[in-house]
Amino acid sequence: MAIVRSKICGITSVEDALVAAEAGADAIGLVFYAKSPRAVSIQQARAIIAALPPFVTTVGLFVNASRCELNETLDAVSLDMLQFHGDETPADCEGFHRPWYKALRVRAGDDIRGQTARYAGASAVLLDTFVSGIPGGTGVVFDWSLIPADLPKPLILAGGLTPQNVQQAIAQVRPFAVDVSGGVELRKGVKNAESVREFVRRVRAAM
């Protein structure tokens, strides 16, 4: 089976970023969405990125941000990749000179294959749980059987993942990567170091 990558999202401190990196996470997520309890400021993001060792991908998460806001953030913060987690159109995601992927919130009856195909310029698609009024970080698992086997993009699986269910998720879905936030927290925005280590360990053991 191919190697499955792991991303620890909602990092808000240098300490948590280093725990994720030392655990072997492939990427960390920084949330640039003011309404999120896991949001970071420009200053926080810069400090976190400066502390990271090489080869850890930094992903900026945005929710319906204006092009002006996005460009201001990218001018100030050295992000490797962008995650669009709102209602962005394909055109909204293009033109920032970074690889990017689109989050889709899954519910029964969705044409996931068709939605994925719309975002032709994306490096991947992230599938998360649909909860009305909450863009992400819900801590709720969706029905993995809804995921088509032949998606036209690499799949990043999110939505309610924990150290306890991630191996089952990988066995059933066979994603390119898994993305966790609330499932490894002490409280919103603060990671549990042991949970982070266990999550990454179990992802690697599932290979």
Residues belonging to the active site: 9, 128
CA distance 27 to 46: 16
What is each CA distance from 96 to 8, 42, 100, 135, 153, in whole angstroms?
23, 18, 9, 22, 20
Tell me the pairing of strands 124-129 and 100-106: parallel
Residue 38, Cβ neighbours under 10 Å: how many? 21
DSSP state for residue 13 in the 8-state scheme? S
Q: Which residues pair with 122 in a beta bridge?
A: none
Six token digits for residue 188: 């919103």
- For 79, the 3-state DSSP assignment is coil
Judged on CB neighbours under 10 Å (0-12, 13-18, 19+), 61 is buried
CB 6 within 8 A of CB 20: no
